[in-house]
Structure 1
């Protein structure tokens, strides 16, 4: 039981945190007022006014979103990526302790990460002012893939004795 807790409790806590934040309406997570108060908009405009692209059919640019909205877009997408980066690492860590080949643990961790990303977007569809996007599930899965790659690289370096001390 102790080993199970050490392996799976971090996964369950992380998934619970994702679920909690997905349960919040957008207005509770709106970072635009904070950015407007603390960020020098002229500096951001100076360096990033050239950025202009479409995400899910919407323009992402300072001209369209304003500096606070522009920064919030990248903060939110960065959160998607990084939260699932960590989830995949935690899942792989837990799954690696079962008798399966190394590749199977990687595949299962990635499949579980992708499945939870999809579930999370469905969950958001029931939350006020939240928009479920399959594109965010893809971003989450990419984040998970990078997390797994980082974990495997770290494990390889550790076996060689050249991993950085953390």
Structure 2
């Protein structure tokens, strides 16, 4: 627990760093941010296209599939949504670690407060994205970001619980 408090400034630095990246990213237009040219260059043989062509789903009111979007845009969709989830998972981890010692006696708040903070930041980021030309904010993306943050905070609480439990078992 002491090392968490000692490293708190690094966790907050990580939070600020991720937020700076998110702010910069949501300031870019889709055209500035698209990875389709990269994917076209490096995935010319369209790996997994045969399997992916049978796969489709609704996301944010739009049916996502290779048939509707084309192979490269469909793959990019997964890259972008994976980045949403992964970035907010990391943000959830860092917020939970930064706030962990403040809620030492309450596991519920150890998860709730960082998760709500990350969800609020996700909503703000989508609002900011809506101010950028050619981009639309999405409530579904906020939900995805929130799920990533929740996963990150839950992971921290569970891992720290088992670490502390293991330490306590060694002492006895």
The TM-score bracket by the shorter chain reads: 0.7 to 0.9
User: Could you tell me whether the CA contact under 8 Å between 1:41 and 1:67 is conserved in 2?
Assistant: no
Q: 2:61 aligns with which of 45, 57, 62?
A: 57
Once the two structures are superposed, residues 106-158 of structure 1 have per-residue CA deviations (whole angstroms, 9 ceiling, x without a partner) of: 21101101101110110001111111000100000011111112212221232
Counterpart in 2 of 1:26? 30
- Structure 2: gaps (5+ residues): 1-5, 168-172
User: Could you tell me whether the CA contact under 8 Å between 1:96 and 1:102 is conserved in 2?
Assistant: no
Task: Give the stretch that moved more between structures: 76-85 or 91-100.
Answer: 91-100
Once the two structures are superposed, residues 35-58 of structure 1 have per-residue CA deviations (whole angstroms, 9 ceiling, x without a partner) of: 111114443321211101121221
- The structure-2 alpha-carbon separation of the partners of 1:39 and 1:99, relative to structure 1 and needing over 3 Å to count, comes to closer
User: Could you tell me whether the CA contact under 8 Å between 1:44 and 1:67 is conserved in 2?
Assistant: no
- 1:114 corresponds to 2:116: no
Task: Give the stretch that moved more between structures: 77-86 or 37-46.
Answer: 37-46
RCO greater where, 1 or 2, for CA within 8 Å and sep 6 or more? 2
Counterpart in 2 of 1:144? 149
Q: 1:89 aligns with which of 79, 86, 93?
A: 93
Secondary structure of 2:110 counterpart = helix
- 1:66 corresponds to 2:70: yes
- Structure 1: gaps (5+ residues): none
Task: Give the stretch that moved more between structures: 101-110 or 83-92.
Answer: 101-110
Counterpart in 1 of 2:16? 12
- The structure-2 alpha-carbon separation of the partners of 1:109 and 1:40, relative to structure 1 and needing over 3 Å to count, comes to same
User: Could you tell me whether the CA contact under 8 Å between 2:55 and 2:65 is conserved in 1?
Assistant: yes
Provide the aligned length of Structure 1 versus Structure 2: 161
Counterpart in 1 of 2:170? none
Q: 2:108 aligns with which of 98, 103, 109?
A: 103
- The structure-2 alpha-carbon separation of the partners of 1:41 and 1:64, relative to structure 1 and needing over 3 Å to count, comes to farther
Secondary structure of 1:132 counterpart = coil
Aligned equivalents of 2:60, 2:18: Cα separation in 1:
27
